Amino acid sequence: MGDEAFDCDVLIVGLGPVGAMLALLLAQSGVSIIAIDKDTAVYPLPRAAHFDHEIMRLFQQVGVAEAVSRHARPAPAYEFRAADGQVLLRMDLPPLAPSGWATGYMFHQPAVENALRAKLEQSRLAQIRLAQRFERLEHDSGGVTAFLQGPDGASSIRARYLVGCDGASSLVRDAIGGALDDYQFDEPWLVIDAVLENGARPPEVNLQICDPSRPTTCVLMGPGRHRWEFMLLPGETPEQVLRDDFIAPLIAGWDCGPVQIERKAVYRFHGLVAKTWRNGRVLLAGDAAHQMPPFAGQGMCSGLRDAANLAWKLRAAIQGDADEALLDTYQVEREPHVRTYIELAIGMGRVVCTLDRDVAAQRDAGMLAQRAAGAPTLPPAAPAPLTGDGFLAGAPGAGALFPQAVSGQAEPRQRLDDVLGAGPWLIARSASPDLGAITVTDLTDPQLQPFRSSLEGWLDRHRAQAVLIRPDRYVFGAGEPRVLADAYMQALRPTSAA
């Protein structure tokens, strides 16, 4: 990259959960980072409510799963109910998902963010600078200079790359001319977060109440907390619905016992995707790149998946293991995945947000008939495998999340990721020769014995001798070891291959 002086390898603008996760992943892999945020502390009130098994696997990867678990609980069943209480749709979650954790979790976001920051503060390669507001940037072929404003005046930071994790109103996105693709879904909702007091008895499942008189969401949060969301009706204003005398009868109608309101806010639920996620050495992640309604519980999850996808590619480019062109695969892989979840959430939202009683009656009848017949009433929640040049085209398993085998029936369980480390990994049926920078192991390795049955089963199902797994736990491809290794090294250097 030349002899030019840099303050860090990567400057991260915005230290919410996505920025903190990206910073941790990069610092753990030997990349120096500076993470800035305009605020002086973690936002103290809950926002996101849910994360899934893949995200708990990420928390495991950066060493905060145990801390996060103290502020989370496995997600219960999710029901859509008609105004009269009939169950239109019920989604029961398996207790153990492919990532080796519960399928989903309800959590308290401030506590989880504090766990991420505490871990980040222990890193010798990470600097956290708070009360620093991003103003503008200049970028060239060699790096990026960000200009900031803080309590002590103006300053600047020079970095090889800059990643904007600065939320829905991203100034970094504006700085690179990031236009948004709008799904034209825009619904205002009142969000109420409450702390449960002694004697409180809220519902034990997550609920979408499809009542045309006022669509309502009722979900568990972290331990001891609950959330209600009420759709604003035509003519209602944010100022009106935020009054205590408006909120009190809405909560009282649930007859759940004593609660203390922790937060009340009006949000507009919408679907937006930035058209450009990368401009040279400047990239976007999380809400800066995409926003979605909350009905599928995948907003924060999608941002954390961005961090996992981007972190290993930045590391490879910075440390010379890959061409910078590898970064072009970031948006190619992540955008279709994000759009699947946005479209799912909007589809669920359109089911919930019906205010016309005749339309609602037709909806209810159709969903009840589908449920009675055992037919799915919503599109599947799992997106298709990722595609693009970051995978071996046509190879078995390519683009799918590799399952994490676990041993034991109770915590603490032994998990595959902890044994194998950062990756990339090539797991073969039998011993393979040295394949350079790729970590190679085989089913005769004593460390893999607790997982051998699961790994053999995966290889059998894919009729393969080996599988190569990227650092983000997605399958590059399955096949013959040497073929996989050679193809992976070529994928890291698409410019050289051309």
pLDDT at 432 over 90: no
C-alpha pair distances (Å), 45 with each of 48, 201, 288, 437: 10, 22, 20, 44
Residue 306's contacts (CB-CB under 8 Å, 6 or more residues apart) are 18, 22, 285, 286, 289, 330, 334
pLDDT at 382 over 70: no
Going along the chain from its start, the domains and CATH numbers come out as: 8-72+105-181+272-345 (3.50.50.60), 406-497 (3.40.30)
56 C-beta neighbours (distance < 10 Å), count: 25
Phi-psi region of 397 (alpha: psi -120 to 50; beta: other; left: phi over 0): left
How crowded is the C-beta side of 294, counted as CA atoms within 13 Å?
A: 25
| CB contact burial 69-83 (16+ within 10 A = b; e otherwise) | bebbbbbbebbbbbb
- The confidence score (pLDDT) of residue 3 equals 44
Indicate the pairing of strand 126-130 with strand 104-107: unpaired
Residues 50-71, mean pLDDT to the nearest whole number? 97
Q: What is the pLDDT of residues 293-344, one digit of tens each?
A: 999 899 999 999 999 999 999 999 999 999 999 999 999 999 999 999 999 9
Tell me how long the chain is.
498
Q: What is the pLDDT of residues 91-130, one digit of tens each?
A: 998 889 999 999 999 999 999 999 999 999 999 999 999 9
- The confidence score (pLDDT) of residue 294 equals 92
Tell me the C-alpha distance between 416 and 448, whole Å: 8
